Amino acid sequence: MGNLLCCVQVDQSTVAIKETFGKFDEILEPGCHCLPWFLGSQVAGHLSLRVQQLDVRCETKTKDDVFVNVVASVQYRALANQAGDAFYKLSNTRGQIQAYVFDVIRASVPKLKLDDAFEQKNDIAKAVEEELEKAMSNYGYEIVQTLIVDIEPDEHVKRAMNEINAAQRLRMAANEKAEAEKILQIKRAEGRQRQAIVDGLRDSVLGFSVNVPGTTAKDVMDMVLVTQYFDTMKEIGASSKSSAVFIPHGPGAVRDVATQIREGLLQASSLN
């Protein structure tokens, strides 16, 4: 009926290309239009202005000789004010976009190692988008967005990478476990050493008190602690890695140190 009445309908988000006797005439916007066919007017075709998406899978090789499949997603649309160029200049829009994507990816990825390619996905996508925008604008198309949605290494490479990661994690776990066991053994040895020191001091005090009449356990303990105090001072001074240490020194200081050590040993003995 529309053809008989010389009327055509153009849907929303679509434009129609009007020709007169086979020559481009004008762009028909959405709505109803009168085309007197007997005067040579006709609709050559329709062009969608909606955003379209094209997924492109490109196989290439990285700098470290790993074959990968790079999946790019390109979103594009025809420009209403350049609908004539979009309709007449390109016969295969999707094929043209795919060719440009192939060209940029195969020029960019071989410059990168596999790990760098994963890290620089956004840079690759930006390079593809810039090249497409520059090329497709001449044909009446706008590149809305370009994404690198996936980089898939060869299956054997992927399996090897997973095995390497698993081995690294197992090695880290083994190191952590060994370090924990080492710390535990050191703490146990330190505990046994402290206990042995306490037992040795106790035996020394008791033996000295028995063999030297008139001395008390406190006298012997003070003498032992003062001896250990001077031995410690000697070790600190003889160490090549020791830095300056300022401590109070004198009879009163020695007595205070002896009291503190004795109280600490008594507390340790009571805990054990």
This prediction's pTM? 0.57
**Nearest alpha carbon to residue 131 among 55, 85, 62, 76:** 76
Q: What is the pLDDT of residue 91?
A: 86
Q: What is the pLDDT of residue 129?
A: 93
Residue 117, C-beta contacts closer than 8 angstroms, at least 6 positions apart: 62, 68, 109, 124, 151
H runs (alpha helix) in 89-150: 93-108, 114-119, 121-136
Token reading at 248: 């109070």
Distance CA(18)–CA(42), nearest Å, equals 6
Q: What is the pLDDT of residue 123?
A: 92
Q: Report residue 65: phi and psi, to 5°.
A: 65, 40
Enclosing H/E stretch for 206: helix 155-211
pLDDT at 143 over 90: yes
Q: What is the pLDDT of residue 2?
A: 47
Q: What is the pLDDT of residue 178?
A: 84
**Nearest alpha carbon to residue 44 among 86, 3, 16, 84:** 16
Listed range (52-56, 94-98, 187-191, 216-220) with the worst mean pLDDT = 216-220
Enclosing H/E stretch for 207: helix 155-211
Class of domain 52-153: alpha beta
pLDDT tens readout for residues 102-142: 999 999 999 998 889 989 999 999 999 999 999 999 999 99
Distance CA(231)–CA(238), nearest Å, equals 11
Token reading at 231: 């031995």
pLDDT tens readout for residues 151-177: 888 777 777 777 777 777 778 888 888
CB atoms within 10 A of CB 236: 12
Q: Look at the block and give the residue holding tokens 């420009």.
A: 79
Q: Where do the domains of the chain lie?
A: 7-48, 52-153, 155-236
Mean pLDDT (the chain) is 81
